[in-house]
Amino acid sequence: SFPVHPSPSQSLPFPSQSVPVQSTAAQELQSLRLLQERPRVLHLQLHRPGKRNALDLRCWRELVQVFRDIAQDPECRAVVVSGAGAAFTAGIDLAELGSLLAALPAQDAARRAWALRRHIREFQESFSAMERVGTDPQTPKPAWGPLKSGVDLISACDIRFCSQDAYFQVKEVDMGLAADVGTLQRLPKIVGSQSLVNELAFTARIMRAPEALSCGLVSRVLPDKAALLEVALEVAEAIAARSPVAVQGTKVNLLYSRDRPVSEGLQHVATWNMAMLQTEDIPKSVQAALDKKGPEDVPFAKL
């Protein structure tokens, strides 16, 4: 039911039977495009061309909805996120933020606070839903290869590549607030220089691709956007070809362990693999390895 736009290169029809019941048909994506350019790989494009893909309210809600649906879709095993046009995203839509603050209940500071908290938690949830895809109760699926700038959004992605001309900026301090949809929480756990994180967050200075690579924010820099998308899709395809029991189990445990002591993580993965090592994917994989085949030659059942 999502408007899956045929991609110029190699588009497959989006498997409509996989769309869960609750995404009722009337909805139409407006700020996002969902393309299927490779088997088992979805390509999610921020699509507000005139606005440098700035995230307006509609966009936030569509993100939640799209990732909820993707999580339910056993056909999709990896998602690539990119921006339409030159920019990835200009971030939060300034004009909308202003009108949101203006619309708060006027009478009482505590009631205004309560309403604000509801908004913030909703925005946080957009990105957390993205981060969680493939790990939670009702979420069959993937891991992804996102693309370019927009620090809140990309820090909720699993893998980050960028093009040579990309730049990154934590702009909130220049708008008079502390960032509250994930940058201050995730960025320090993603990159290897706390001094740099502080500098970026306190001064809103721009960081360019080479610095992003050397600090570990992105793991590859590609010459231009075309190359970037090509490589991202290739990596996504490689992930999607692997056993979903292996890939999603890896993601569940990486996320679990990020926030806990090593001993806790070890205990969790042991409990996890009590069940998961009983999968047929292991003998299939071992046999393929003995036959000098790769995982892309093995047909794994959906998860």
Touching a second copy, residues 261-290 (CB under 8 A): 261-263, 265-266, 268-286, 289-290
Query: Considering the complex, what minimum distance in angstroms separates the CB of residue 191 from a second copy?
Result: 6
Match 């990119």 to its residue by tokens: 82
* Single-letter amino acid code for the residue at 183: T
- Judge whether 131 and 65 are in contact, CB under 8 Å: no
* 86-125 residues near a second copy, rule: CB under 8 A: 94, 97-98, 101, 104, 107-114, 116-118, 120-122, 124-125
Distance between CA atoms of 58 and 90, rounded to whole angstroms? Answer: 15
Q: CA angle at residue 272 from 271 to 273, to 5 degrees?
A: 95
Q: Does 215 bind a second copy (CB under 8 A)?
A: yes
With CB under 8 A as the contact rule, which of the stretches 46-54, 59-67, 80-88, 252-260 interacts with a second copy? 252-260
Q: Which residues contact 110 (CB under 8 A, 6 or more apart)?
A: none
* 129-188 residues near a second copy, rule: CB under 8 A: 136-138, 140, 143, 158-160, 172-180, 182, 184-186, 188
What single string gives the DSSP state of each residue in 225-291?
HHHHHHHHHHHHHHHHHS-HHHHHHHHHHHHHHHTS-HHHHHHHHHHHHHHHTT-THHHHHHHHHHT
Query: Considering the complex, what minimum distance in angstroms separates the CB of residue 233 from a second copy?
Result: 13
Query: Considering the complex, what minimum distance in angstroms separates the CB of residue 68 from a second copy?
Result: 13
Match 């991202």 to its residue by tokens: 232
* 188-207 residues near a second copy, rule: CB under 8 A: 188-199, 201-205
Query: Considering the complex, what minimum distance in angstroms separates the CB of residue 10 from a second copy?
Result: 20
Nearer to a second copy, 8 or 292 (CB): 292
Tokens, residue 126: 């957009």
Q: Does 38 bind a second copy (CB under 8 A)?
A: no
